[in-house]
């Protein structure tokens, strides 16, 4: 959070991130899987973390895009961002008309739902700019009603310190015993507010092979997860974002879900 505060002006002003920047090119990449975990009683893993860490996958794609722009247009300078710099990626994507920010605070599109990574290229090239789209949440409150920890405290306002994603990924200390039984079996991240969103009926499976999970991951049963060894963890999450929480963090989360 301190990092966010320190970089607040940079988040608002792309010229502070890239000298002479003129345009933000916002991009989405689908990660909706064709298959989910097979055992309905197994501890759950957020869909975005099934395959290779998206930071690596997307950075490579952005580099290729910048290179393509340079080949086509000439001297263009820019920088690629995937969560890794203090950029307001959802706000930029909404401003670019890629979708609207839903009541669950994720970017949401009428055509393809919300299971998308967002990334940006900030470049020193003038472009024709898109305009924002409209909000289509209407009177729906499905995400607010379904959140297991009541983290969506008001429409469009998620209290990050109450969100299961924060607890299972960011929190380094012990999980608060007051929340025992409220995690709805999520061991890494949480997809509830996106899973219940009616617009995600339009989600279609991604076509990025690197986002496919390790062949054993989706068939792991509840007891496989409860008995997971360091060796299995390293194998099934070899290049995954789950590595952020380390073996000890995932074990802590799985232990917390036990009745």
- Is there a catalytic annotation at residue 83? yes
Which residue in the shown chain puts its C-beta closest to ligand SF4?
A: 102
44 counts as binding ligand SF4 under rule CB under 6 A: no
45 counts as binding ligand SF4 under rule CB under 6 A: no
For residue 244, the 8-state DSSP code is: G
Site stretch for ligand SF4 (CB under 6 A), options 24-32, 54-62, 157-165, 214-222? 157-165
Torsion of CA 42, 184, 242, 114, to 10 degrees: 110
The residue (of 122 and 183) whose beta carbon lies closer to ligand SF4 is 183
Asked if 242 contacts 45 with a C-beta cutoff of 8 angstroms, the reply is yes
Of the candidates 25, 62, 122, 158, which one interacts with ligand SF4 according to CB under 6 A? 158
Measure the CA–CA gap between 92 and 105, rounded to whole angstroms: 14
187 counts as binding ligand SF4 under rule CB under 6 A: no
169 counts as binding ligand SF4 under rule CB under 6 A: no
Which of 13, 19, 39, 83 is catalytic? The answer is 83
For residue 74, the 8-state DSSP code is: S
Whats the size of the chain, residue-wise? 259
Minimum distance of ligand SF4 from residue 249's CB (angstroms): 17
Measure the CA–CA gap between 20 and 226, rounded to whole angstroms: 52
Minimum distance of ligand SF4 from residue 212's CB (angstroms): 23
Interaction mask 86-125, ligand SF4, x per CB under 6 A: ----------------xxx---x-----------------
Alpha helices of the chain — where are they, by DSSP H? 2-6, 8-12, 54-73, 89-95, 142-146, 164-165, 192-195, 222-226, 230-236, 246-257
Of the candidates 125, 143, 169, 218, which one interacts with ligand SF4 according to CB under 6 A? 143
190 counts as binding ligand SF4 under rule CB under 6 A: yes
CA distance readout (Å), 85 to 67, 165, 211, 243, 245: 20, 20, 22, 20, 20
Q: Which residues contact 18 (CB under 8 A, 6 or more apart)?
A: 77, 78, 79, 122, 123, 124
Minimum distance of ligand SF4 from residue 161's CB (angstroms): 11
Asked if 189 contacts 168 with a C-beta cutoff of 8 angstroms, the reply is yes
Minimum distance of ligand SF4 from residue 84's CB (angstroms): 21
242 counts as binding ligand SF4 under rule CB under 6 A: no
The residue (of 137 and 236) whose beta carbon lies closer to ligand SF4 is 137
Site stretch for ligand SF4 (CB under 6 A), options 16-24, 29-37, 60-68, 141-149? 141-149
How many Cα neighbours within 13 Å face the side chain of 257? 23
Write out the residues near ligand SF4 by the rule CB under 6 A.
102-104, 108, 137, 140-143, 147-149, 151-152, 158, 163-165, 190, 192-193, 196-199
Question: Where in the sequence numbering do the catalytic residues fall?
Answer: 83
């Amino acid at each position: 959070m301190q990092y966010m505060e320190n970089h607040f002006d940079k988040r608002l002003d792309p010229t502070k991130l890239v000298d002479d920047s003129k345009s933000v090119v916002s991009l989405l990449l689908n990660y909706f899987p064709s298959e989910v975990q097979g055992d309905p009683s197994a501890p759950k893993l957020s869909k975005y973390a099934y395959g290779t860490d998206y930071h690596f996958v997307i950075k490579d794609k952005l580099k290729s895009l910048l290179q393509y722009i340079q080949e086509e247009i000439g001297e263009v300078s820019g920088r690629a961002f995937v969560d890794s710099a203090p950029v307001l990626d959802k706000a930029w994507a909404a401003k670019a008309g890629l979708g609207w920010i839903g009541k669950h605070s994720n970017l949401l599109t009428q055509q393809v739902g919300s299971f998308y990574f967002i990334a940006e290229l900030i470049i020193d090239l003038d472009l024709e700019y898109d305009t924002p789209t409209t909000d289509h949440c209407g009177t729906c409150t499905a995400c607010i009603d379904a959140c297991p920890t009541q983290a969506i405290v008001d429409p469009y306002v998620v209290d990050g310190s109450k969100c299961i994603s924060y607890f299972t990924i960011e929190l380094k200390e012990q999980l608060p015993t007051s929340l025992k039984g409220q995690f709805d079996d999520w061991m890494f991240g949480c997809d509830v507010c996106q899973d219940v969103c009616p617009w995600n009926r339009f989600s279609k499976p991604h076509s990025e092979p690197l986002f496919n999970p390790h062949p054993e991951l989706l068939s792991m049963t509840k007891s496989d997860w409860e008995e997971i060894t360091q060796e299995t963890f390293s194998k099934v999450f070899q290049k995954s974002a789950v590595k952020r929480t380390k073996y000890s963090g995932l074990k802590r989360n799985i232990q917390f879900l036990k009745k």
